[in-house]
Structure 1
Amino acid sequence: MLLTLALGVWPTSQALAQAPIDAEAARLLVTLRQAHPGTQFTEAARTDIPGVYEVWMQGNVAYVAATTPRYFLFGRLFDTQDMRDLTAPRIAQRAGDVPVAPEDAAPPIAFDRLPLADAITVRRGNGQRQVAVFSDPGCGYCRQLEAELATLDDVTIHTFLVPFQGEARPVAIWCAADRTQAWQQWMLHGDARAQRPSAGCDHPVARNLALARALRVQGTPTLFWADGSRTDGYVDRSELQARLVRASTGPVAGSTTTERRP
């Protein structure tokens, strides 16, 4: 439902700034904070689409129907009539009203400096090809991506769990007796039996969130390749294979691709 709503007209930031205090938005914030105590919801702003709100979790944004706050739409909204990215200006505004050029939005990273001890690492075959994935267990496209990653050979996959949709499940997965098994069972089969929701172990979820912000990860899944380039959003097996081959040729000056993301 929310995907079709994204094709509608989105209000300007000025209109949002001038909007009166909204009781429904306040109620929505209370509901979300109660449902996801590990996530810091900072604002809910009414849109021109009845009942749909722009919800901010510090630097991350989602679009939520007030009547069904169980469902979040992550990613960028695009006005097909005016051919404009409607999400980018709001993100730029939150960053201090400084426009960010597309080529500067996601500079290459030093892959070998990633704190891989904070990731769930899976090695298949010779493991020579590497990719790091920022993923949220509540993210639908992340589950689709995980199914594609499971088909790859001769690859090492480092998965950083991020709590964009709440901290409880990422922590329960990390604290499992076998976190790799807990992650794969959940993402591939929706099976939570291996998770330990009350284990209370030392976990890197907060560090992963800070790392994601430092790397300008604004949604999941986001993939970082061994050459320092990145892909924002879901990609299928053929694209994964192509990017792994491309990344093996060496570092790049700058490369960013955008695909589907919830």
Structure 2
Amino acid sequence: MSSFLFSRAARTAAALALGALLSHAAVADEAAIRKNLVERLPNLPPIDEVTKTPVPGVYEVRIGTEIVYSDETGNYLFQGNLIDTKTRTSLTEARINKLTAIDFAQLPLKDAIVWKNGTGARKIAVFADPNCGYCKKFEQDLQKVKNITVYTFLLPVLGGDSPQKSENIWCSKDQAKTWLAWMLEGKVPPRVMGQCATPIERNLEFSRKYRINGTPAIIFTDGTRIPGAIGAEQIEKQLIASAAATKPGLTTTPPSSN
């Protein structure tokens, strides 16, 4: 019995020692990676975080919301998607999605055009360019969804007259009516006369911070982000899933601006 207890204690001590050793090695690796990358790549932006990946000897180097990878010494730096072949998923994409998740409660809704169908009990946010064909198709499908409030953030990223159209829509007497008339019926927004303050620059800055790189970009109340247009049936399914997943006190730490 005593030999069994000794053996068990010895195994526990060995496991603790191994854990401490591995932890120390990870810290040493992180220090080496930071030191070598900073010294050898002086133009590299500040490194926010260095963490181990599931791949032995490969470390994730996070710079803001950008992800690159390094060996354990910082001698090699590489960029791309880390793919889990068993699940056929991109670990890189999953990590970036987590970093750039948006807490719906923290959206600057004062900078959005608002319209609703029915009770408006369910909510959705959309970043859209007035000249985006996919945004127009998405807007058509949204009309089929009941009891929804839609917050549209104007995001003129397509060039041409997108910035002017966005300004004209925002500065109109009835923003929602003007927006829907243009997106659904092609009625050109009246040109704004005089000065009018818009949130467009703030929207663009928000999109850069959270890596919203295209339109439409759809945000649901549980933080789920969908890039690109989806149909009415998919919208309905995601609204139901998001409502089930949303819990009081949801918080998201904004990504570093570095």
Distance in 1, Cα, partners of 2:196 & 2:120: 29
Aligned mate of 1:212, from 203, 207, 210 = 207
* Residue type at the aligned position of 1:239: Q
Give the structure 2 partner of residue 162 of structure 1: 155
Shift of 1:92: 7.8
Distance in 2, Cα, partners of 1:197 & 1:138: 18
Q: 1:102 to 1:191 in 2, by over 3 A?
A: same
Q: Is the 8 A contact 2:125 2:151 kept in 1?
A: yes
Q: Is the 8 A contact 2:117 2:143 kept in 1?
A: no
Give the structure 1 partner of residue 28 of structure 2: none
* Residue type at the aligned position of 1:106: N
Q: Name the SS for the 2:201 alignment partner.
A: helix
Q: Name the SS for the 2:207 alignment partner.
A: helix
Aligned mate of 1:201, from 178, 191, 196 = 196
State the identity as a percent: 33
Normalization by structure 1: what TM-score?
A: 0.57
Q: Is the 8 A contact 1:172 1:199 kept in 2?
A: no
Distance in 2, Cα, partners of 1:173 & 1:97: 44
Q: 1:97 to 1:181 in 2, by over 3 A?
A: farther
Distance in 2, Cα, partners of 1:97 & 1:197: 48
Aligned mate of 1:179, from 175, 179, 188 = 175
Distance in 2, Cα, partners of 1:225 & 1:244: 7
1:49-94 deviation line (CA, Å, top 9, x unaligned): xxxxxxxxxxxxxxxxxxxxxxxxxxxxxxxxxxxxxxxxxx989x
Q: Is the 8 A contact 1:92 1:98 kept in 2?
A: yes
Aligned mate of 1:110, from 70, 95, 103 = 103
Shift of 1:243: 0.6
Give the greater-gyration-radius structure (CA).
2
Distance in 1, Cα, partners of 2:139 & 2:110: 20
Aligned mate of 1:150, from 143, 149, 166 = 143
Q: 1:199 to 1:175 in 2, by over 3 A?
A: farther
Q: 1:97 to 1:178 in 2, by over 3 A?
A: farther
* Residue type at the aligned position of 1:225: F
Distance in 2, Cα, partners of 1:199 & 1:97: 51
Shift of 1:99: 3.9
Q: 1:177 to 1:103 in 2, by over 3 A?
A: same
Shift of 1:197: 3.5
Q: Is the 8 A contact 2:67 2:96 kept in 1?
A: no
Normalization by structure 2: what TM-score?
A: 0.58
1:188 equivalent to 2:184? Answer yes
Q: Name the SS for the 1:106 alignment partner.
A: helix
